[in-house]
Amino acid sequence: MKNYDELIEKGINHYENKKYKEAVAVLTKAINKNPSKDRAYVERGYTYGFLDKKKKSIMDFIKAININNKNHIAYILRGMSYEYFNEFKKAENDYKKAIELNPQRNIYIYYLGILYKKMEKYKKSEEQFKKIIENSSKKNDIHQKALFNQGIIFGEEKKYKKALDNFNKLVEMNPNNEKYLFNLGVVYLKNEKYKKAIEEFTKSIDNIKEDKNIKKYYKVANKLINKSENSNKELYNYLVKLIKKNKIGFPLLTNLLPGINTIENNFKKLYHYTSLNALKSIIENKEIHVSRVDFLNDPAERSYIQELIDSLCNDLNNFLKSKNIKKEPCSFLGKLNLFRESLKVCVNLKILLV
């Protein structure tokens, strides 16, 4: 028959391999074998969390603490469970107790800082993150997490200089981190430093790892477009980069068109095209001018433009179908379809996509 410690190790092995029910069964055997020890209760409580049985988790952590009120792991895990149920005061007390018992664990201080942030007790949250920043190496992951969250809080409190300092430090440590670059841009945006914001957002796009992250870039693009002073080429380069990055850029671009209408007149009309920038120019200015197709540098240019417009139209159509939208949300798709047909026969042509 296996002893208490062997059963616990077997239970840990099970939950590390995501066999949570088996882990609970083995850890229950350990508890039955020696109910006066606290460790098996902690491990089983932790495992219940993976089975979404948080109330059972709390009961096990309570039993562990009743046996050993110096068990800082039981306090921190019970605090996390209380936080899950939005019982913030109980969570705060447990985190504080865990820190009191083991003040060297920066992760405990971090959990308390995140809790205060969630409770919008920003000053207290800042204090926790400051402790971590002052007492950890820059290379340490917890140091960067504290610096990041403190920067977010500074931004919320409109302490933009401090926020910029935090995010610039993070970017210096990791210049290709999409999250750091994006949030640096957000601070510039909040501080109405629009050109700097666009610069950081543009850098950040190159480092997007997951498609789902791209949607937040369209939200900030809408904010930038609505600022009349942002009628600049940098903003349009940013929009084009979004389109190039992911196919969802095509349907999402339609959401930006009302804003683009307000600033299109600040741009010079472009009458020549050689690449995807041609599509950018057409969408920006809602205009294409072809003097004679035969005079183009490359005879294949017109067919290339045709392919780009076909791709855009198809993506827009698929997007509308996926959303069960029967009526077009704007006339843009109709204009593109007209343009697509016109390209097939144009010799001397000027189309206004308005």
- Length of the chain (residues): 354
- 162-166, Cβ contacts within 8 angstroms, sequence gap of 24 or more: 163/187, 164/188, 164/191
Query: Is the residue at 66 inside a domain?
Result: yes
Q: Please give the Cα distance from 124 to 115 (Å, whole number).
A: 10
Tell me if 32 is assigned to some domain. yes
**For the whole model, what pTM was predicted?**
0.70
**89-113 pLDDT per residue, tens:** 999 999 999 999 999 999 999 999 9
Last residue of a domain, one of 103, 136, 169: 103
Q: Is residue 259 part of a domain?
A: no
Tell me which H or E stretch contains 290: strand 287-290
Least confident of 64-68, 137-141, 281-285, 289-293: 289-293
Give the C-alpha separation, 344 to 90, whole Å.
Answer: 70
Answer whether residue 186 shows pLDDT above 80: yes
Measure Cα distances from 162 to 11, 21, 152, 176, 293 in Å. Answer: 46, 48, 10, 21, 56
For residue 278, the Cα-to-chain-centroid distance in whole angstroms is 30
Q: Which of 127, 213, 133 is nearest to 173 (CA)?
A: 133
* CA quadruple 60, 62, 68, 71: dihedral sign: positive
The HSE-up count of residue 216 (CA atoms within 13 Å, CB side) is: 16
pLDDT recorded at residue 150:
97
- Encode burial over 17-41: b for 16+ CB neighbours within 10 A, e otherwise: eeebebbbebbebbbebeeebbbbb
Tokens 């600049």 locate to: 232
Which token pair is 194? 């629009």
**Structure confidence at residue 269 (pLDDT):** 41
Q: Which has more pLDDT, 319 or 54?
A: 54
Burial of 80 (0-12, 13-18, 19+ CB in 10 A): buried
Q: Is residue 171 part of a domain?
A: no
pLDDT, position 169: 96
* Orientation angle between helical segments 39-50 and 54-67, nearest 10 degrees: 170
Whether the per-residue pLDDT at 256 is higher than 80: the answer is no
Residue 85 lies in a domain: yes
Which token pair is 126? 């800042």
d(CA 257, CA 203): 23
Report the candidate in 294, 226, 237, 289 with the shortest Cα–Cα distance to residue 260: 226
CATH of the domain at 76: 1.25.40.10
In a domain, residue 279? The reply is: yes
Whole-angstrom Cα distance, residue 129 to residue 154? 12
> What pLDDT, on the 0 to 100 scale, is given for residue 348?
34
Dist. CA 225–CA 189, nearest whole Å: 12
Whether 96 is covered by a domain: the verdict is yes
Nearest to 111 by CA among 123, 94, 134: 94
Which structural domain, as residue segments, surrounds residue 295?
Answer: 268-354
Domain count, the chain: 2
Point out the domain boundary residue: 72, 103, 134: 103
Lowest mean pLDDT among 44-48, 263-267, 337-341: 263-267
Q: What is the mean pLDDT of residues 167-189?
A: 95
Q: Which of 103, 118, 153 is the last residue of a domain?
A: 103
Mean pLDDT of the chain: 79
Q: Note whether residue 342 is domain-resident.
A: yes
Which pLDDT does position 323 carry in this prediction?
60
Span 15-27, average pLDDT: 96
Query: What pLDDT was estimated at residue 268?
Result: 39
